[in-house]
Amino acid sequence: MKRNNPFFIPKALKSQTKSWNSSTGRNNKGRITAWHRGGGHNKLYREIDLKRKHTQGMVIGLEYDPNRSAFLARIFNPDTKTNNYIIAPTEIQKGDVIRSNSKRNGVQNGHSKSLRNIMTGSFIHNLSLSPGNDAKILRAPGAYGLILKRTKSLAKIKLKSGQSRWFDIRTIATNGVVSNPDSRFRKLEKAGRSRWLGRRPIVRGVAMNPIDHPHGGGEGKTSGGRPSVTPWGKPTKGPSTRRFRVKPKPNVKI
């Protein structure tokens, strides 16, 4: 999309970016709690309007975001002379008008509305769990929800997982489907691209030393010599589910 789209903006807004320090998989004590993370290219975090209460204006173009797989749309407001980022929906074009907290009925791609003003059967994304909070769900590339039915106070939405949940009808969502739905078909093609993303190599337990893993050690190449376990000795494939039948003791009278 970056190569084929002439409206793709190469540089991010300085006013909407800030430094981003990754944890490299360590907790507040410095211990590794998430394995195989670290390194990677330097990233700047883009401030995105996830509440969608005030962002409105004209779409200038699309941008790549290193912190998510979906694209961002840069919105310019000619009244306030400000720029904002939103999660870009599919089929959005340069020059489209974007409105937030709109009360217009119908399906306007990229417009945010409360569930009360969105038509039943419409696709939505960027949905918050409760009114007034940031959007937490339906933000992944290609994600969308379907409004099944509404009552006076609640709306039933079918999520991408197939689960149906009830939300407050005052909750704000955005019309459309999240952009870049083909990101899951992307191939990294070389190990270096994985390192750029901050993913470190995965080492087999049998290649480690005995101090590092229960499968480690031994002369030459070994296959573990025991059922597969985690570095802490717990079964990786789950505990045994076989039930052993205990034979009753015979009643022997002497």
Per the CB < 8 A criterion, the answer to whether 210 and 217 are in contact is: yes
Per the CB < 8 A criterion, the answer to whether 214 and 207 are in contact is: no
Tell whether 53 is covered by a domain: yes
Mean pLDDT of 198-220: 92
Tell whether 114 is covered by a domain: yes
Mean pLDDT of 203-221: 91
Domain harbouring 69, CATH code: 2.30.30.30
Band of the pLDDT at 153, cuts 50, 70, 90?
A: very high
Confidence at residue 253, expressed as pLDDT on a 0 to 100 scale? 64
Pairing of strands 154-158, 145-150: antiparallel
Tell whether 39 is covered by a domain: yes
Per the CB < 8 A criterion, the answer to whether 75 and 57 are in contact is: yes
Find how far residue 94's CA is from the centre of its chain.
26
Structural domains in the chain (count): 1
Tell whether 105 is covered by a domain: yes
Q: Give the separation between CA 173 and CA 158, rounded to whole angstroms.
A: 13
Give the closest residue to 87 by CA, choosing from 181, 211, 205, 224.
181
Q: Among 65-74, 126-135, 232-241, which is the least confidently predicted range? A: 232-241
Residue 27: C-alpha distances to residues 22, 30, 210 (Å)? 11, 5, 25
Per the CB < 8 A criterion, the answer to whether 109 and 176 are in contact is: yes
Confidence at residue 245, expressed as pLDDT on a 0 to 100 scale? 65
Written as one letter, the residue type at 195 is: R
3 state DSSP class of 108 = coil
Mean pLDDT of 220-230: 87
DSSP string covering 135-172: EEES-STT--EEEEEE-SSEEEEE-TTS-EEEEETT-E
Band of the pLDDT at 222, cuts 50, 70, 90?
A: confident
Give residue 170's domain range. 14-182
DSSP string covering 1-16: -TTT-TTB--S--GGG
Output 64 or 23, whichever has higher pLDDT. Answer: 64
Tokens standing for 165? 């949940």
Band of the pLDDT at 242, cuts 50, 70, 90?
A: confident
Q: Give the separation between CA 228 and CA 208, rounded to whole angstroms.
A: 14
Band of the pLDDT at 145, cuts 50, 70, 90?
A: very high
pLDDT at residue 11 greater than cutoff 90: no
Tell whether 5 is covered by a domain: no
Give the closest residue to 75 by CA, choosing from 57, 92, 49.
57
Mean pLDDT of 34-44: 90
Mean pLDDT of 72-97: 91
Band of the pLDDT at 252, cuts 50, 70, 90?
A: low
Confidence at residue 2, expressed as pLDDT on a 0 to 100 scale? 56
Residue 120: C-alpha distances to residues 21, 40, 94, 115, 252 (Å)? 42, 43, 28, 9, 75
Tell whether 156 is covered by a domain: yes
3 state DSSP class of 205 = helix
Tell whether 146 is covered by a domain: yes
Tokens standing for 70? 């979906």
Tell whether 178 is covered by a domain: yes
Q: What is the pLDDT of residues 161-194, one digit of tens each?
A: 999 999 999 999 999 999 999 999 999 999 999 9
